[in-house]
């Protein structure tokens, strides 16, 4: 793999509109190591299964160097109701240049599809990646996840749930594990309790399809913090200190829960960053992603 540090440049802001709120997700970045060959063109719209009458798709960003490589699943945000896999094209290209193979995942969206469909889809994708590891020169024992906002919640879940969780009977790869070995969480919620995220509560209810009053256990089940064990994946949190939609406390609580059971964690607090990091400086945003990519390298790179 390409040795770090990464050099991050040209990281503009980005906006995705979802019902009632602005959710800031991904844009175009470039970090480059001039000594490394350019990765091949991405393989777009690869099917990782069919469910509910829909073809489930992902984009593959291959590394240019010989493998086996660590893999990273890229999971877009958008309030579980918007966004798509193209939003993380910048990360796929960036990480592929550094020796990762990336899979940017589409999943079925609310309100047509509600929890646990989104978890079932991303788990199906992780199992597909492992089942097709040889096809993409991937080491199935070194799979990470990175996601922002709603995609952060889904990534956190992949780091803490049981390996056999969220199976579906028609998945031919259901014997594979869906737990990942490393997580980069970008301002994702960890505890869905409405009192802790009052602004985002309507979005969460749209994702879950039920109110907290009617089904509190569903809200807790979808909260990554309720699944933490000592087997959880090492996790880094990137979060702005001015985030009104998903407060910084969400990352702090999850980090404390992981720390309590001895799981490796790091946190990067982006000064003046709102949800999606508006208000933060280019330098602080670049530093946060640099730390996130280094964390992936530290926990997924092969031992020497």
Model confidence over 2-41: pLDDT tens digits? 444 333 332 333 323 232 222 233 333 334 455 677 889 9
Res 303: pLDDT = 56
Res 22: pLDDT = 27
Asked if 233 contacts 179 with a C-beta cutoff of 8 angstroms, the reply is yes
d(CA 258, CA 279): 29
- Which residues in the chain land under pLDDT 70? 1-35, 303-304
Classified by CATH at the fold level, domain 35-300 comes out as: Rossmann fold (3.40.50)
What pTM, to 2 d.p., does this model score? Answer: 0.90
User: Any idea what the Cα angle at residue 231 is, between residues 226 and 236, rounded to 5°?
Assistant: 75
Residue 258 structure tokens: 């992981």
Work out whether strand 235-240 and strand 182-186 pair parallel, antiparallel, or are unpaired: parallel
């Amino acid at each position: 793999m390409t040795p770090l540090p990464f050099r991050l440049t040209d990281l503009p802001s980005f906006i995705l509109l979802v019902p009632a709120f602005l959710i800031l997700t991904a844009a175009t970045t470039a970090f480059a190591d001039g000594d490394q060959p350019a990765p091949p063109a991405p393989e777009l719209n690869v099917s990782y299964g069919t469910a509910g009458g829909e073809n489930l798709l992902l984009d593959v960003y291959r590394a240019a160097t010989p493998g086996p490589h660590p893999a990273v699943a890229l999971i877009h945000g958008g309030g579980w109701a918007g966004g798509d896999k193209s939003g993380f094209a910048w990360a796929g290209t960036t990480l592929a240049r550094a020796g990762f193979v990336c899979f940017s995942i589409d999943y079925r969206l609310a309100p047509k599809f509600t929890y646990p469909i989104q978890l079932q889809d991303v788990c199906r994708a992780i199992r597909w990646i492992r089942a097709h590891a040889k096809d993409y020169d991937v080491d199935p024992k070194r799979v990470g996840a990175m996601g922002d906002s709603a995609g952060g919640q889904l990534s956190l879940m992949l780091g803490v749930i049981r390996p056999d969780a969220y199976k579906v009977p028609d998945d031919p790869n259901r014997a594979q594990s869906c737990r990942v070995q490393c997580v980069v969480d970008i301002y994702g919620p960890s505890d869905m309790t409405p009192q802790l995220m009052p602004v985002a509560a309507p979005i969460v209810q749209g994702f879950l399809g039920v109110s907290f009053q009617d089904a509190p256990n569903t809200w807790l089940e979808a909260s990554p913090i309720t699944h933490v064990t000592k087997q959880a994946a090492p996790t880094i949190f990137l979060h702005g200190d001015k985030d009104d939609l998903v407060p910084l406390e969400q990352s702090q609580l999850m980090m404390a829960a992981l720390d309590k059971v001895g799981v490796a964690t790091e946190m990067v607090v982006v000064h003046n960053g709102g949800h999606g990091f508006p208000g933060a400086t280019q330098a602080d945003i670049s530093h946060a992603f640099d730390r996130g990519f280094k964390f992936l390298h530290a926990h997924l790179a092969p031992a020497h």
